[in-house]
Amino acid sequence: MTPSNRQSGVVLTDRVFTVPLDHDRPAGETIEVYGREVVAADKAGRDLPWLLYLEGGPGCQARRFIGAQAWLERALKDYRVLLLDQRGTGRSTPANRQTLPLRGGPREQADYLTHFRADSIVRDCELIRREVTGGAPWTVLGQSFGGFCTVTYLSLAPEGIATALVTGGLPSLDATADDVYRAAYPRIERKAAAHYARYPQDVARARAIAAHLAEHGPVTLNGGYRLSVAAFQSLGILLGVGDGSHKLHYLLENAFVRTPNGLALSDLFQEEAQAALSYAARPLYAVLHEAIYARPGQATGWAAERVRGQFPQFDAAKALADEVPLPFTGESIHPWMYDADPALTPLREAAELLAERTDWSAPLYRPEVLARNEVPVAAAVYHDDMYVDTAHSLATARAIRGLRTWVTDEYEHDGVRASGERVLDRLLCLARDTI
């Protein structure tokens, strides 16, 4: 019997699906993919259309809502919703430092992880769709990387989609990983400048923390994370969401405590920094982050690390010497993170092999299919989104036939969550051509 639970106004049902690890070998090894079905309590017995939600990431489980929170409240007015834990995440068959050694050594682990990109996720969705909808197409809502997966879905199996909705996740159809990060660093620089303009007192605070780390060397936080100057700079990843600047500000103001041995980083700061920096809860985010941009015949080769060298303004030592604001960095993965984060250290060799890999599967996007798209598509593009380049998104919007965009600077990358019902409602209206 499928377990169901009730929360305020909703009924939740666990769904577990068995899918091939490699869809090109359907009779081979299988894994499990978990989905949480959600329906409004007063509609639980009704025959409703389905909406599939694809979370951002890569490597993030579907959000755990309590009742009808954020965009879910709007969705439940029209749909029965499936919150999918994409393969390797959440309650799906996990892929992390604890489980990957079951595959063998680093080479076997890397080979296994090649099956965790958007094309495999979409093929999972198609098998799942046939089981839950009886074959009817469903509406797909993709946030961030979930939007990347939605564009792959439109490329590979558009017949499975009734309506496609994308928030902060229209990917470039042809950019390399180098192109992605070359466009990203200037955006990151702008977000850091905006933070310092909002909280000018944080200029001195950030410099003081970086100077402390530079003088005393990396500090092993209470949770085991090794905080270096570069790791501290990477807290700028917070600046891409609506309340991120405020969270960074409150984190910095609690940095130091006076001890018998002088100033030290406070336990409060250490706990909050560890929570913000560790990838223990989403290791695939780090391990597959550049692989989502990999193209056949090309190695990503630690693109973010390599491209950063083209932007000397991110040199913390120079900033400290010149007495200028410390540059924060943002959404990028670097080799040193595998030494800093205990959750990633055992995966270092597998990550190196993925960075060197060139024999990736066929392209994730098919421009010729998208150019003749017939599925109603609407996308929210957040102006100067730190995580997804606006110019790349708009170029893709032009390449997908019939796609309607809503470009806004009212929200950051997390607009679909931060706006309550508003962003999803706007996208539905665009897709249905009611505005």
User: What are the catalytic residues?
Assistant: 144, 359, 413
Query: Cα separation of 100 and 113, whole Å?
Result: 9
338 SS3 class? helix
> Residue 94, Cβ neighbours under 10 Å: how many?
18
Query: Residues 170, 388: contact at Cβ < 8 Å?
Result: yes
User: Can you give 298-312 as a three-state secondary structure string?
Assistant: CCCCCHHHHHHCCCH
Strand partners, 90: none
| Closest among 387, 318, 356 to 147, alpha carbons compared | 387
Q: Where are the alpha helices (DSSP H) in 81-176?
A: 106-113, 118-132, 145-156
Query: Cα separation of 58 and 288, whole Å?
Result: 7
Q: Verify cis geometry, omega within 30 degrees of 0, for the bond prior to 312.
A: no
Residue bearing tokens 């979409």: 122
User: What's the DSSP call for residue 240?
Assistant: G
| Closest among 366, 328, 77, 54 to 185, alpha carbons compared | 328
What is the distance of C-alpha 432 from the center of its chain? 27
User: What's the DSSP call for residue 296?
Assistant: T
DSSP H/E element including 18: strand 10-20
Query: Residues 181, 307: contact at Cβ < 8 Å?
Result: yes
| Closest among 374, 434, 431 to 165, alpha carbons compared | 431
Query: Residues 388, 396: contact at Cβ < 8 Å?
Result: no
Q: Which amino acid is at 255?
A: A
> Residue 316, Cβ neighbours under 10 Å: how many?
22
Query: Cα separation of 245 and 376, whole Å?
Result: 35
